[in-house]
């Protein structure tokens, strides 16, 4: 599996940070999708915007597994969601609810908090924020 623009597009309004191959450990903010193969990244702390091949970009995401063992109240507060959405999130974590069946509100909350709902970290296509 390869990283595609459909994996990054939901995070666009939420200032997702990325690393780019060949740029050492410099963080970039995801700015937009130029086309299906190229994306725009802005170097953090600068106004320079560069285009990178999507295969050279690694989004920095929070794994779903970070929420294992958390109490419901803490998940609800972190994601800023309702009790019903929290229950939905727990069902998604357990595999009882598939990604295509989660509500738009929960999906937006996960994007806002940069949650890896596509499991890109496990596939080697994203970087776990806990490892930086």
pLDDT of residue 97: 96
Q: Which domain holds residue 53?
A: 5-61
42 backbone dihedrals φ, ψ, rounded to 5°: -110, 125
Where helices occur in 11-112 by DSSP H, the ranges are 72-79, 83-94, 104-112
17 Cβ partners below 8 Å, 6+ apart? 27, 28, 29, 30, 44, 59, 60, 114
**Would 123 be classed as within a structural domain?**
no
Q: Are residues 27 and 48 in the same domain?
A: yes
Whether pLDDT at 27 is above 90: no
Q: Are residues 56 and 68 in the same domain?
A: no
pLDDT of residue 22: 80
Where helices occur in 1-132 by DSSP H, the ranges are 5-8, 72-79, 83-94, 104-112
Q: Are residues 24 and 48 in the same domain?
A: yes
Q: Mean of the per-residue pLDDT values for the chain?
A: 90
pLDDT of residue 44: 77
Q: Could you tell me which of 42, 43, 34, 39 has the C-alpha nearest to residue 52?
A: 39
Mean pLDDT, residues 89-118: 96
**Would 26 be classed as within a structural domain?**
yes
**Would 94 be classed as within a structural domain?**
yes
pLDDT of residue 28: 86
Q: Are residues 30 and 49 in the same domain?
A: yes
**Would 131 be classed as within a structural domain?**
no
Mean pLDDT, residues 80-91: 96
Residues 100/58, Cβ–Cβ less than 8 Å: no
Q: Structural domain tally of the chain?
A: 2
Report pLDDT digits (tens) over 62-83: 999 999 999 999 999 999 999 9
**Would 124 be classed as within a structural domain?**
no
What's the rounded Cα separation, in Å, for the pair 36 and 29? 18
Using pLDDT thresholds of 50, 70 and 90, give the confidence band for residue 41: confident
């Amino acid at each position: 599996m390869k990283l595609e623009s459909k994996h990054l597009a939901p995070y666009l309004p939420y200032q997702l940070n990325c690393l780019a191959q060949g740029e050492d450990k410099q963080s970039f903010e995801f700015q937009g999708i130029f086309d299906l193969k190229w994306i725009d990244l802005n170097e953090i702390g600068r106004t320079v915007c560069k285009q990178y091949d999507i295969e050279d970009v690694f989004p920095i995401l929070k794994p779903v597994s970070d929420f294992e063992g958390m109490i419901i109240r803490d998940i609800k507060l972190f994601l800023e969601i309702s009790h019903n959405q929290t229950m939905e999130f727990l069902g998604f974590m357990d595999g009882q609810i598939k990604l295509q069946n989660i509500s738009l509100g929960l999906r937006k909350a996960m994007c806002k908090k940069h949650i890896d709902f596509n499991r890109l970290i496990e596939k080697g296509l994203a970087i776990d924020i806990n490892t930086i």
